Amino acid sequence: MKYNIPRGTFDILPKDSYKWQFVMDSFRKVASRFGYEEITTPIFEVAELFERSSGESSDVVQKEMYRFSDRKERTFALRPEGTAPVVRSYVENHLDVLSSRTKLFYIGPMFRYDRPQAGRYRQFYQYGIEFIGSDNPYYDAEVIAIEMLWLKELGLKNLRLELNSVGCATCAADYEAALREFFRPNLDKLCPDCAKRFDIKPRRLLDCKVPSCKPFRSGAPAQLDYLDAHCKEHFAKVCDTLTAMDIAYTINPSIVRGLDYYTNTAFEVIYDGLGAQNSLAGGGRYNGLIEQIGGKSIPAIGFAGGFERLLIALEQEGIQLGTRPVPDAYLICLGDKARAGIMPYLNALRQKDVYVDYDPDKSSLKALFKAADTSGARFALIVGDSELEAKQVNLKNLQTGEQVSLPLDGGEAVVQVLKS
């Protein structure tokens, strides 16, 4: 029997895993610089958490969620996104009592039953930021700055930040009424999904992917023209703060975001080289979410980005993402006595943080030197029975061919050479 990986998933093989490590570590570092701390939640939650937060009408809940029942017939879901679990944890662990501001970030796999294609998978890895505790527009700009500064630091160029405001519940009501008026005459020409969305969430009609729906939205009213005074001022301050931070943006009135819980600021980071899946990251303010899932009314803002698309973009621009580790030294051990007696030394080196490769199955000198070369090690450590007896080891620089004899000590002599 031969088994294949499930469709829409992928293995991260050793030849690539150091790149993943590199970008994940680099995200952790940047987030910490802004005072954000890592939170890790389970990969499954009760399905209702997502139904309540994302909205019953959202694509994520309607079509994309991996639901399953456990042995007690409780319905769980593999998390399709990271915000609802983080907020669930925030409420459950009373993090609001500890501080009026909570700065969190997460990294981990998400699951969506989506149609797989380049840059779109059924299991994918997201990084995300959540700021909870203030409506101050500074924080909208701060979370955007984390993403933009990080991508700039990684060296990515062809980026665009697109910004919109989806208003609050009050201004959204006026806007949605205007949208219904706009779409009503063509309702019978829209796709069945749009017909459903028309009543529940008409702004979803603006980002329907069905080609035949697209022409009907040109000239649709923009949310920005329907903001109340507070939302208008909030948005203006976010824009001003970004400008003061020297972060360029364009306003895109059609950003609606897929999930129901967004209020005010909504943004997307676009990388054009990615084809159809050109969104690297997206997020926005979700002032209503915490209350919606059982907490107090506390404002918050966050975003999530995908590592897969980021890695594709970085590779397209030829950006080097760390290096695959190579051994510091390759141990060439000749003779049965040497092979048995060298174990304490091998251990000592590894305990001193020296990466030593050793293959006890190879015994011919030629094969061992070939293996040392292939491994990419800078040095070969050569020990035969007579060296072992004399408590000596030969260290050969594989690039220059230079060789020195060192004492077979607790590893100190080799460490000294490696560091010099």
Q: Is 108 in the site for ligand AMP (CB under 6 A)?
A: no
Residue 410 in contact with ligand AMP, rule: CB under 6 A: no
Closest CB 281 distance from ligand AMP, rounded Å: 5
The DSSP code sequence of 269-336 is EEEGGGTT--EEEEEEE-TTHHHHTTS----EEEEEEEHHHHHHHHHHTT---------SEEEEEESH
Nearer to ligand AMP, 306 or 327 (CB): 306
Listed ranges 69-77, 98-106, 117-125, 234-242: which one lies at the site for ligand AMP (CB under 6 A): 117-125
Given the complex with ligand AMP, which of 141 and 151 has the nearer CB atom? Answer: 151
Kindly state the helix (H) or strand (E) to which residue 251 belongs, with its residue range. Answer: strand 250-251
Residues pairing with 103 in the sheet: 131
Q: Which of 300, 304, 381, 408 binds ligand AMP (CB under 6 A)?
A: 304
399: phi then psi, degrees, rounded to nearest 5: -85, -40
**Cα separation, 222 vs 166, whole angstroms:** 9
Asked if 126 touches ligand AMP (CB under 6 A), the answer is yes
Q: Name which of 126 and 165 has its Cβ closer to ligand AMP.
A: 126
Number of residues that bind ligand AMP (CB under 6 A): 18
Q: What are phi and psi of 250, to 5 degrees?
A: -125, 150
CB 417 within 8 A of CB 406: yes
Of 281 and 314, CB closest to ligand AMP: 281
Nearest to 281 by CA among 271, 272, 263, 268: 268
Which of 137, 152, 162 has the alpha carbon at shortest distance from 30? 152
Our CB check for ligand AMP shows the closer of 124 and 226 to be 124
Q: Does 271 bind ligand AMP (CB under 6 A)?
A: no
Q: Which of 50, 105, 106, 124 binds ligand AMP (CB under 6 A)?
A: 124
Task: Give the residue nearest to ligand AMP (CB).
Answer: 306
Q: Kindly state the helix (H) or strand (E) to which residue 69 belongs, with its residue range.
A: strand 67-69
CB of 194 to ligand AMP, least distance (A): 19
Residue 146: CB minimum distance to ligand AMP, A: 15
Q: What is 131-188 written as a DSSP string?
A: EES---HHHHHHHHHHHHHHHHHHT--SEEEEEEE---HHHHHHHHHHHHHHHGGGGG
| Residue 281 engages ligand AMP in binding (rule: CB under 6 A) | yes
308 binds ligand AMP (CB under 6 A): yes
**Can you give the binding site for ligand AMP, defined by CB under 6 A?**
81, 112, 114, 119-121, 124, 126, 258, 279-282, 304-306, 308-309
